């Protein structure tokens, strides 16, 4: 594996719990890998299977969805729906030959900044072990062919 490889990880996280934890991680100056790009959602219940597939199409090496802890969703069951959809999307990407481990669901409470840092570390380690997404390589090749710097 290329030692210079830095995975691009998309995180879809909810504003009530995980985003608050991530914010607190910043205030606490906790260190964690800079590979994650955060998209804040009102609730992980908004996450759709199509969004997850689109993330891989756009070249994400890994995708994490993180909502409130089970039973703590601000909208009661948004995180449970997200959990189901992540499980479904894992099957869908496995069907096309992409490792399902590139996608994972987390439940991180608003006060749990260290847990957020750990989750990002874990996903970054995993993405490094898996190597770049084959779709990302193709995307880069397509951009290069069009003369756009990746």
Point out which residues bind other proteins (CB under 8 A).
Answer: 49-50, 53-54, 56-57, 92-93, 95-98, 134-135, 138
Q: Which residues, 6+ apart, have CB-to-CB distance to 78 below 8 Å?
A: 14, 43, 44, 45, 46, 67
* Residue keyed to tokens 């409470």: 109
Q: Rounded to the nearest whole angstrom, what is the least distance from the CB of residue 96 to other proteins in the complex? A: 4
- Radius of gyration over every alpha carbon of the chain, rounded to an integer in angstroms: 15
Q: Rounded to the nearest whole angstrom, what is the least distance from the CB of residue 143 to other proteins in the complex? A: 13
Whichever of 31 and 97 has its CB closer to other proteins, that residue is 97
Reduced to 3 states (helix: H, G, I; strand: E, B; else coil), residue 66 is strand
Q: Rounded to the nearest whole angstrom, what is the least distance from the CB of residue 52 to other proteins in the complex? A: 9
Whichever of 28 and 54 has its CB closer to other proteins, that residue is 54
Cα-based torsion angle of the residue sequence 89, 50, 34, 32 in order, rounded to the nearest 10 degrees: -40
Whichever of 57 and 125 has its CB closer to other proteins, that residue is 57
Contact 69, 17 (CB under 8 A): yes
Q: Rounded to the nearest whole angstrom, what is the least distance from the CB of residue 130 to other proteins in the complex? A: 15
Whichever of 54 and 76 has its CB closer to other proteins, that residue is 54
């Amino acid at each position: 594996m290329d030692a210079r490889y830095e995975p691009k990880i998309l995180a879809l996280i909810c504003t009530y719990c995980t985003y608050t934890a991530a914010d607190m991680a910043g205030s606490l100056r906790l260190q964690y890998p800079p590979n994650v790009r955060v998209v804040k959602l009102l609730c992980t219940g908004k996450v759709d299977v199509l969004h997850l597939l689109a993330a891989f199409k756009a070249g994400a090496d890994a995708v994490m969805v993180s909502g409130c802890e089970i039973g703590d969703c601000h909208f009661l069951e948004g995180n449970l729906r997200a959990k189901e959809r992540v499980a479904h999307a894992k099957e869908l990407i496995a069907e096309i030959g992409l490792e399902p481990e590139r996608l994972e669901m987390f439940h991180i409470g608003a006060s749990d900044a260290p847990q957020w840092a750990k989750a990002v570390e874990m996903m970054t380690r995993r993405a490094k072990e898996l190597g770049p997404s084959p779709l990302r390589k193709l995307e880069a090749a397509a951009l290069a062919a069009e003369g756009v710097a990746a």
